[in-house]
Structure 1
């Protein structure tokens, strides 16, 4: 139970710092440290990330950091694709799910680290962005290219939410940094809102189907929320560049350890 609580706090803090890694780390931590199987860990991860992200999203909305129209668009598409991910997960062997998850983690970690190296953690060059903000209003200009980019991001995030029991933030944050001109704190806040909406609905559907959550799972869920609450205070003091670096290193480390344990 203590190990589960410690893992939950770590997951919550990372979720607060990056708007992502809590979800992508939750499932591996539950498997490697708590001893759950990938299928047992998925619903626990979903509930934990959904509740923690909801708390973080409410706080971020009050500070005006959430691009709520973009978050709503991605969430609507994500909710449609999450059930597809659930069906896919039930039809795949556990080892294949783990290998897929680890592969995605390595790719995402590499992309975010590359962004730090190429851009120094600054806002992406505006000419490369599909979604650019109006300098007068601060809102996105909703071009066709922007709408497609956000819709595809939501679809992929929803698919992995259902299939792997993650919030999808580990995909949303890099996508927002790649396709938009918003800074890391705003990307993290917007990601939390999408994660809260998609994960909450997916978690509710999963629990309604009669999925059992063990005692260690509830301990993990409670401490994830507490970890996020504390991590929000820390996030205000950590530079965006270092948030991305920490996230990338953690994702790489967990993916390699989990992959090695699964294959060997």
Structure 2
């Protein structure tokens, strides 16, 4: 039964990642804790494997399609590694109840943001959307022929990358919901390239955070994690095909509903444990 649940959960995560380009990996921790009986430390560590592996494969695919800027992704990821190290180390010093409550709070925030976006999208309609003007080749820092710095943009990158790293290290999530807007607003990438490049960032930060956690002696249940990861990767291809046959709006609405349910259940489970500390 446990093996079947891991495969089904991995399939749902993969379908979401393949169809929507992200979001599904945030479900890995609740699945590992509430469905597969892992501790919070094990789950947030194992989630990094699911997140990192799916992001890496997605980044390779996006790179081949010309939708991932490797250099910018690696640079953003390098900035985020400091936060990832701090977050991974901090996670080892807090009780499981605090980790789960923090994760539940994050789920509630993300679910709320997605609901708001759904409502606004339906009210505005696709016809009112305006293309974002970008300047992909406009650098933040230049050293030749003279030094120049677009410091406001540099600060956005630094702050966002650090927050993404902290979330990845502490809670075992990819943070794509922060990376993509940052790449659009701070680096001026088109949405399609931002989504692809964000996978490079997530792969880097996940690898760093996982290395720190394993070095601190936290080990996931490898059988469950590999089953979850394998199913996610395999069904990611099915999700990509599904996206060509089903409306993205319908897929997004279905995922939002699922995320709201998971967020509510996680909060319901974590609050009593937190109060008992």
Fold shared per TM-score above 0.5:
yes
Give 3-state SS (helix, strand or coil) of 2:38's partner: coil
Residue by residue over 1:89-117, the C-alpha shift from the partner in whole angstroms, topping out at 9 and shown as x without a partner, is: 12222222222222222222333443451
Matched position secondary structure for 1:65: coil
Paired residue secondary structure (2:94): coil
Aligned to 1:24: 26
Point out the structure with max Rg over C-alpha: 2
1:169 equivalent in alignment to 2:161: no
Indicate whether 1:83 and 2:85 are aligned: yes
Q: CA deviation at 1:7?
A: 0.9
Q: CA deviation at 1:60?
A: 0.4
Matched, 1:157 2:151: no
Are 2:146 and 1:144 aligned? Answer: no
The one of 263, 271, 277 aligned to 1:263: 271
Whole-Å Cα distance in 1 between the matches of residues 183 and 29 of structure 2? 23
In structure 1, stretches of 5+ residues that fail to align are 127-131
Q: Which residue of 2 aligns with 1:231?
A: 239
Write the distance in 2 (CA, Å) between the matches of 1:208 and 1:141.
36
Deviation at 1:20, TM superposition (A): 3.1
Give the SS at the match of 1:212. Answer: coil
Partner in structure 2 of residue 106 of structure 1:
108
Match 2:230 to one of 203, 207, 222:
222
Q: Which residue of 2 aligns with 1:7?
A: 9
Cα distance in 2 for partners of 1:99, 1:41 equals 13
- Deviations 1:144-185 (Å, cap 9, x if unpaired)? 3333223322111110111111222243235456665733x4
Residues 113, 244 of structure 1: 8 Å contact kept: no
Indicate if the aligned counterparts of 1:19 and 1:173 stay in contact, CA closer than 8 A.
no
Range with greater deviation from structure 2 (160-169 or 229-238)? 229-238
Q: Retained in 2: the 8 A contact 1:97–1:164?
A: yes
CA contact under 8 A between 2:6 and 2:224: conserved in structure 1?
A: yes
Aligned equivalents of 2:13, 2:234: Cα separation in 1: 10
Quickly say closer, same or farther: Cα 1:201–1:181, change in 2 above 3 A.
closer
**TM-score of the pair, normalised by structure 1:** 0.82
Query: Once structures 1 and 2 are overlaid, which stretch shifts more, 170-179 or 153-162?
Result: 170-179
**Correspondence for 1:96:** 98
Give 2:257's aligned residue: 249
CA distance in 1, matches of 2:19, 2:249: 11
| Equivalent pair of 2:26/2:173 in contact (CA under 8 Å) | yes
Structure 1 residue aligned with 2:209, among 197, 202, 222? 202
Counterpart for residue 129 of structure 1: none
Q: Note the aligned Cα RMSD (angstroms).
A: 2.8
CA displacement at 1:187 relative to structure 2: 3.6
CA distance in 2: counterparts of 1:217 and 1:23, whole angstroms: 12
**Unpaired segments ≥5 residues, structure 2:** 141-149, 273-277
CA gap 1:247/1:254 in 2 versus in 1, 3 angstroms: same
| Cα distance change, pair 26–204 in 1 and its aligned pair in 2 (3 A) | same
SS of equivalent residue, structure 1 residue 167: coil
